[in-house]
Amino acid sequence: MNAIIDELRAICPISTTGADLAEHARDWWPLAMRWALQAQVPQLPSVVATPSTTDEVRRIVLACARHDTPLTVTAGRSGVSGASVPLFGGVVLDTTHLRGVVSVDRTSGIVEVLPGTFGPDLERAVNEHGLTVGHFPQSFDISTVGGWVACHGAGQFSTRYGKIHDMVVGLEVVLADGSVIRTGGAPAAAHGPDVSAMFIGSEGTLGVVTRVWLRAHEVAPVRRKAAYFFASFADGVAAMREAIRAHATPAVLRLYDAIEAQRSHGGDGSNSTLIVLDDGEPEIVAATLAVVDRCALAHGAVRAPDERVDHWLAHRNDTSGLQALTKKGFVIDTMEVAAPWSKLTSVYTNVVAATSAVSGARSVSAHVSHSYLDGACIYFTFVGQLSSRDITDATTAEHERLYLAMWNAAQRAALTAGANLAHHHGVGLNRGRFMREAMGDAFNVVMALKQALDPRDIFNPGKLGLPTRRGAMPWSGSST
């Protein structure tokens, strides 16, 4: 590795300190966090490189290719699936020095931004032009534009502003052979397959995204809110479906089952709660909320105080409750999948039943978080408890066993009931074992793309469930 480290030193700032290497060997995936706490990461990278130009990225990629060294891109490291864990060591390319808004086309509402730009910095810059990108993931403060693109993310206001693929106008990408391509451009091109789409969700396995052009919207003049209680989760889902099918698409439309409604909003745990928030022109917002109101009442809802929405707004990015439970030794994770409306309630009941049946599972709950004309994302939280809460080697193995058992039960029940594998947390390391099962022979196309663009398996080997030529996987999970 010394030869490549010397080459990288001549290109951009690098670090080989133990603290930096360890820090860049984990993201927010619960197992990666736990491994990091116990100094048991699968493998440390040898060096962290922090380029600040596309040309520096290109030269790093070429150096890795010459030395046949794996290259893992890391950004905010807020991923929750282990996507940026450098499984086979090598070089970590940290994008956070590739940051800032480069230009704003105010007339078209297009912002050109570097990939390591964090959410607040992007919004502040476009707000100065009276614009918003409208992408507000719960991890807004700790995630980057490149990470949103690479993980196919969704923000909390996506029902109005769309998912990241609705926002991407084009990309600049450095490929494994060192070439730099520009995708997209003017809207709605019909010149063959959409090349931008091939990189959205590719999780650093096909290239390094070095520049992004995003659609931005006028900052909304009006915001309105509403909230409802439903006697059952199924009634709430029916009301949401009707509103969305009638093209009422408020920025936020979230339905919490009774457990989550009580956890977040208090109450006696007998009602599901729907919260609604819309931003836009006053006439459109008024019409949207009127349709939602009609659909909710038609399904037996009772109007709830708007404070429910204020409470959600104030606490929506606060994960301290789950973190406190983790520190107490509970085994916790979340799983987000999307399903057609016709299957959404059976996905809910089947996942809750299958996961609750796992020995050690204590609580399984869900909310519907993002809606589309044909279906919605349902976001589960599961909590398990070990008999002993001391962190020892034995409980670590036990922790992982319970964690995998809950994931396998939940994911398989979701797939069987007609949901997809992931809605916005991606695949990373955690879900690789389900890719063939979820995609069938369509996965062959993903493998062929990887083979065509990165035949020497330089980029993020071992992720997305892709086969790797770099040896046995240090961790692949157990699917049974």
Ligand X SMILES: Cc1cc2nc3c(=O)[nH]c(=O)nc-3n(C[C@H](O)[C@H](O)[C@H](O)COP(=O)(O)OP(=O)(O)OC[C@H]3O[C@@H](n4cnc5c(N)ncnc54)[C@H](O)[C@@H]3O)c2cc1C
Q: Give 254's strand partners.
A: 275
Classify residue 73 as exposed, middle or buried by CB count within 10 Å of its CB (0-12, 13-18, 19+): buried
Torsion of CA 335, 338, 343, 348, to 10 degrees: 20
Measured between alpha carbons, how far is 383 from 22 in angstroms, rounded to an integer? Answer: 28
Measured between alpha carbons, how far is 196 from 211 in angstroms, rounded to an integer? Answer: 12
Is-contact 132 151, C-beta < 8 A? no
Is-contact 382 410, C-beta < 8 A? yes
- Rama region for 134: left / alpha / beta (φ>0; ψ in -120 to 50; rest): left
Does the protein bind ligand X through residue 137 (CB under 6 A)?
yes
Q: Residue 166 CB, nearest distance to ligand X (Å)?
A: 13
Does the protein bind ligand X through residue 144 (CB under 6 A)?
yes
Q: Residue 90 CB, nearest distance to ligand X (Å)?
A: 13
Measured between alpha carbons, how far is 45 from 267 in angstroms, rounded to an integer? Answer: 48
Token pair listed for 306: 């708007």
Nearer to ligand X, 191 or 327 (CB): 327
Measured between alpha carbons, how far is 115 from 420 in angstroms, rounded to an integer? Answer: 27
Least Cα distance to 461 among 83, 61, 2, 175 occurs for 83
Q: Residue 452 CB, nearest distance to ligand X (Å)?
A: 17
Tell me which of 12, 60, 101, 151 binds ligand X, using CB under 6 A: 151
Residues binding ligand X: what is the number (CB under 6 A)? 36
Amino acid at 212: V
Tell me which of 4, 8, 24, 27 binds ligand X, using CB under 6 A: 27
Nearer to ligand X, 115 or 461 (CB): 115
Does the protein bind ligand X through residue 150 (CB under 6 A)?
yes
Q: Residue 114 CB, nearest distance to ligand X (Å)?
A: 9
Amino acid at 23: E
Q: Which stretch binds ligand X (CB under 6 A): 185-193, 200-208, 230-238, 444-452?
A: 200-208
Contact characters 56-85, ligand X, x per CB under 6 A: ----------------xxxxxxxxx--xx-
Tell me which of 42, 109, 119, 146 binds ligand X, using CB under 6 A: 146
Tell me which of 95, 117, 264, 288 binds ligand X, using CB under 6 A: 95
Tell me which of 46, 69, 117, 143 binds ligand X, using CB under 6 A: 143
CA distances to 199, 443, 471 from 289, in Å: 36, 41, 55
Measured between alpha carbons, how far is 222 from 234 in angstroms, rounded to an integer? Answer: 31
3 state SS of 223: strand
Nearer to ligand X, 114 or 301 (CB): 114
CA distances to 277, 367, 448 from 304, in Å: 13, 17, 52
Does the protein bind ligand X through residue 461 (CB under 6 A)?
no
Contact characters 421-440, ligand X, x per CB under 6 A: ---xxx--------------
Q: Which residue is nearest to ligand X (CB)?
A: 147
Does the protein bind ligand X through residue 158 (CB under 6 A)?
no
Does the protein bind ligand X through residue 51 (CB under 6 A)?
no
Does the protein bind ligand X through residue 153 (CB under 6 A)?
yes
Nearer to ligand X, 114 or 295 (CB): 114
Q: Site residues (CB under 6 A) for ligand X?
A: 27-28, 72-80, 83-84, 95, 115, 137-139, 143-144, 146-148, 150-151, 153-154, 203-204, 208-209, 319, 424-426, 460
